[in-house]
Amino acid sequence: MRNVSLWRGLLGVDQTVVEDVEFVEAEQVVVVSVRPVKGACRRCGRCGARSPWFDRGEGRRWWRGLDLGTVRTVLEAEAPRVRCRVHGVVVAWVPWARHGAGHTRAFDDQVAWLAVVCSKTAVTELMRIAWRTVGAIVDRVCADVDAVTDRLDGLARVGIDEVSYRKGQKYLTVVVDHDSGRLVWAQPGRDAATVGRFFDALGPDRAAALTHVSADGATWITNVVRARAPQAVICADPFHVVSWATKCLDEVRRETWTIARRAAGGTHQIGDRAGGRYHASRGDAQTIARSRWALWKNPNDLTSNQTAQLAWIATCSPRLHRAYLLKEGLRHVFNLGGIEGQHALTAWLAWAQRSRIGVFVELGRRIKRHLPAIHASLEHGLSNARIEAVNTKIRLITRIAFGFKSPDALIALAMLTLGGYRPALPGRT
């Protein structure tokens, strides 16, 4: 193997002439002097069109490449400017790096791959870069994927949702494909204009092909859907409806806890007409406080300790236990689905109505307001588990992506992770 092709292979570059290699021992860095092959010279950095030479730009510059064993590597080359017919004076395209990048293509690709599969610390330590730099790289790699793929093609059933990504009312609107489980679109904002931008990107023909759109019942979503895709059946995402019930249950739990805490070991009575009388104590308050997870979890996932907590609640706080059963009952409605689910929902609504728990009576009214959409999702059996899983993963990514400069980098990471086009490691097919 000739030295030049060995170096090209080591660096993971194409269309590149390796002119010289120097090891700077003091800094433990390999500096490789390169230039593009003849056919790859004098092209616009943005569109790749052949363009006349303009000037030398800022002279020679460095691009960080993948480490060679234990030492860092940089590529050094001229960065002349060309005059593109469309883009004006721009830095010329180079085959080894993306436009405007300070790292080689292979370096970018490896970082993007790691960002999808590893922890933040693993990426930054291994690649010796800041987390913000990871954000910029992920953004570039995702833009490359977007340039050659159309994620919005062939959509029939989608879910539109909002995800909070930072404290202080910062939200993304996200669109998930019910059939593939992929994230297909995300933009900052939580309003009708943002949903409108999704339909702009979709275009009228593909909007007309949508058969079902699920959402959490928010009018800023449904109004736009009715206007832009009137043929689509509007469904309510079951996991949202169940999460409303979980919130109600939590409110009842807090109420019960407050009463028990005030009792302070005394004999304060927890008012409950249906469940009889019961005297609370401080120890009870602690048990209720600890029972939060037991109340939230699906019964199948409970630990034996949590099962015991539930049994305790059933005996000692019938009102809280009833609230728990109501939450579970609603979950059961969506597990049934179809006509059976619709009947179960009717029964549930009657049950909530006479539960004498204020928040659940109110929840019953709220569900009635959204009944057509909820019935539609029961009837059409939208893959709820999948949408919920994507939703959970996006929330996880928003936490990891904290520290990225812009929401664009967060969206890029979410797209690479959940959009179905995972980056490949450099040099692998």
Q: How far apart are CA 419 and CA 175, in angstroms?
A: 11
Of 76-84, 116-124, 177-185, 230-238: span binding Zn ion (CB under 5 A): 76-84
Q: Is residue 415 part of the contact set for Zn ion (CB under 5 A)?
A: no
Long-range contacts at 345-354 (CB < 8 A, ≥ 24 apart): 345/374, 345/375, 345/378, 351/326, 352/326
Q: Which is nearer to Zn ion, 86 or 289 (CB)?
A: 86
3-state SS class at 105: helix
Candidate list 17, 29, 33, 46; residue touching Zn ion; CB under 5 A = 46
By beta-carbon proximity to Zn ion, the closer residue of 55 and 362 is 55
Closer residue to Zn ion, CB minimum distance, 26 or 147: 147
Q: Under the criterion CB under 5 A, does residue 91 sit at the interface with Zn ion?
A: no
Concatenate the DSSP letters of all residues of 404-418 into one string: BSSHHHHHHHHHHHH
Nearest distance in Å: CB 124, Zn ion: 34
Say which DSSP state 422 is in. P
**Backbone Cα Rg of the chain:** 29
Q: Which residues of 258-281 are buried (b: 16+ CB within 10 A; e: fewer)?
A: ebbbebeeeebebebeebeebebb
Q: Which stretch binds Zn ion (CB under 5 A): 15-23, 41-49, 98-106, 170-178?
A: 41-49
Amino acid at 329: G
Query: How many residues interact with Zn ion (rule CB under 5 A)?
Result: 6
Q: Is 84 in the site for Zn ion (CB under 5 A)?
A: yes
* CA 147 to chain centroid: 21
Residue nearest to Zn ion (CB): 44
Q: Are 298 and 331 in contact (CB under 8 A)?
A: yes
47 lies in the binding site for Zn ion (CB under 5 A): yes
- Report the nearest approach of Zn ion to the CB of residue 109 (Å): 23
Among 44, 82, 225, 387, binds Zn ion (CB under 5 A): 44
Separation of CA 213 from chain center: 19
Answer for which of 35, 61, 87, 393 binds Zn ion (CB under 5 A) is: 87
- Of the two residues 9 and 39, which places its CB atom closer to Zn ion in the complex? 39
The reply to whether 61 sits near Zn ion by the rule CB under 5 A is no
Q: Which of 4, 86, 117, 156 binds Zn ion (CB under 5 A)?
A: 86
Which amino acid does the sequence have at 232? A
Q: Which is nearer to Zn ion, 85 or 226 (CB)?
A: 85
Cβ distance to Zn ion smaller for residue 46 or 132: 46
Calpha distance 19→236 (Å, rounded): 62
Residue with smaller CB distance to Zn ion, 87 or 380: 87
State the residues that interact with Zn ion by CB under 5 A. Answer: 44, 46-47, 84, 86-87
